[in-house]
Amino acid sequence: MSPALTPQGDEMPLHLHAELLPNIRQVTLYVSLPQLSTLQSNRPQVQLSESCKSVTVSLSPPFEHVTETLKLPARVSGAVGQNLNLSPSTPSAPRKPADSGFEYSLRMAIDPRDEPFISAPETVSDDHFPWTAADMSPRTRIRCRGCKTRFLKDVGATQSVQAEPSLPQSGWIWKDLPSGNWAEMMDFWHCHKPDPHEHDSKPEADAALKLEGETAQVKGFGADSRVEAIPGTVLIDVPSFLLCESDCINLKKTSEDVPETSTSAKYFARSLQCAKCNAFVGIEDPPARGWRLLKTNVSLNANPEGSPEDETAWQSHPVQQIVAAQLLELIERESARRFVVHYGHKDGLLLWVFNPNLRYSSSGSGHVVSAQNAMKVLHQSIPNVDELLTPEIGNPSPLSVEELELPAAVYRALEEALDKSNKMLPSTARCFNEWKVGLLHRYSRICTR
């Protein structure tokens, strides 16, 4: 709903924001009004819908025409409909002039029928990662997000070319890579695997070790095994696609080296650009002997039923959803909630994932009517990331802080998303002590089907 007008012709924005608080089984509703003297004694009125899934907020005369309806992130109990009295919100920190205004809040108990829905344990699964192998088909292709230049060779056009024996005849094969802690688990297994039994003779022990080594190499858990690009196959992890160089077209290496973090050491890789528009789309991955195309910089026709020539079949995901998926994966793998995020420079961001699974709804332009899934992230700028990642001798080491290095463009998009969401929040909910509060939208396959 567009802002209504005051009798003087000024806009009258009425902003609603609701968050689900699963631990206390309540929904918090915020109502924000501009700083006008005529509104000082005009407390908004809240009416609950018959379904108990939405609320309508209106003002008293002479602003009775100002109304706004919001769908709640969870069904609330019908009993609260008799006691919907808004109370003024108290700011936790001094407000800036631009943020000043009247703000009210109200907490509503959720409906018992929604208890199983909000009480379900939060698990990190493929349902929260965009573009997995289950979403792909042999006809799926990858292209530049900006200029739509294709990056995968056309299988049909190259099947008759003898120089391309690696391309699959039935189309491209898509495979999910194991979780990020796979290599660490294999190292642990090799360090602590059982010794040969004392009663085994030397020939039997040698034969067992040889068979074990051969099996480990075949199954991929040998000490010297590693993930490598496979011709005709696209390997998928949370932020990228791993391909062979020979399977790609319309890509070029740049002369600029980009630092990239591996599990064992720091190495340098060439960045990859679109040959047509020069957009940054990925990096070279020397240990994997392949190229990585970043999900944030490409689009796919992942719909198996769609034609590659149909523009409606192509899709891309917001950068914040890809970064949120990376944070979720790190939370599961490292059991950490605080992250130093940077782009290879001295400055960066310190993120604290306060709530990895927040359901909220908000009114205003640019927001959908239904409830959305997001992360509540507390963040602050840090001038020197090395002081947190590698503190000097004698200083305490932040053991619970993990590092996430992003390409510069992705880092800037993350900053923009956090800043935009902070301004969307009610004034009293934008800060928590020295932290700024932001939201990162999460991908959910369940909600998009």
Q: What is the pLDDT of residues 94-140, one digit of tens each?
A: 454 445 578 889 899 998 887 766 655 454 555 778 999 988 989 89
Beta-bridge partner residues of 338: 352, 401
Q: In degrees rounded to 5, what are phi and psi of residue 191?
A: -75, -25
What is the pLDDT confidence band of residue 165, given thresholds at 50, 70 and 90?
very low
Q: Which of 289, 313, 337 is the last residue of a domain?
A: 313
Poorest-confidence range of 143-147, 169-173, 394-398? 394-398
So what's the pLDDT on residue 126? 58
Within this chain, do residues 146 and 253 fall inside the same structural domain, yes or no? yes
So what's the pLDDT on residue 321? 95
Mean per-residue pLDDT, 261-284: 74
Mean per-residue pLDDT, 47-55: 90
Cβ-count burial of 441 within 10 angstroms (0-12 exposed, 13-18 middle, 19+ buried)?
Answer: middle
pLDDT at 66 over 70: yes
What single DSSP character describes residue 150? B
Alpha carbons 11 and 2: distance in angstroms, whole number: 9
Poorest-confidence range of 181-195, 217-231, 301-315? 181-195
Alpha carbons 115 and 136: distance in angstroms, whole number: 35
So what's the pLDDT on residue 158? 42
Within this chain, do residues 162 and 246 fall inside the same structural domain, yes or no? yes
What is the pLDDT confidence band of residue 62, given thresholds at 50, 70 and 90?
confident
Residues 2/411, Cβ–Cβ less than 8 Å: no
How many Cβ atoms are within 10 Å of 260's Cβ, its own excluded? 19
Instruction: Please count the residues of the chain.
Output: 449
Identify whether 124 is part of a domain.
Answer: no
So what's the pLDDT on residue 269? 64
Tokens 């696609």 locate to: 241
Within this chain, do residues 109 and 186 fall inside the same structural domain, yes or no? no
Q: What is the pTM of this model?
A: 0.80
What is the pLDDT confidence band of residue 308, given thresholds at 50, 70 and 90?
low
Within this chain, do residues 135 and 259 fall inside the same structural domain, yes or no? yes
User: Would you state the structure tokens that stand for residue 22, as one six-digit string?
Assistant: 């699963």
Question: % helix / strand / coil in the chain, to the nearest 5?
Answer: 25, 30, 45
Average pLDDT score over the chain: 78
Alpha carbons 418 and 434: distance in angstroms, whole number: 16
Q: Residue 56: which CATH number? A: 2.60.40
Identify whether 205 is part of a domain.
Answer: no
Provide the residue range defining the domain that includes 75.
4-119
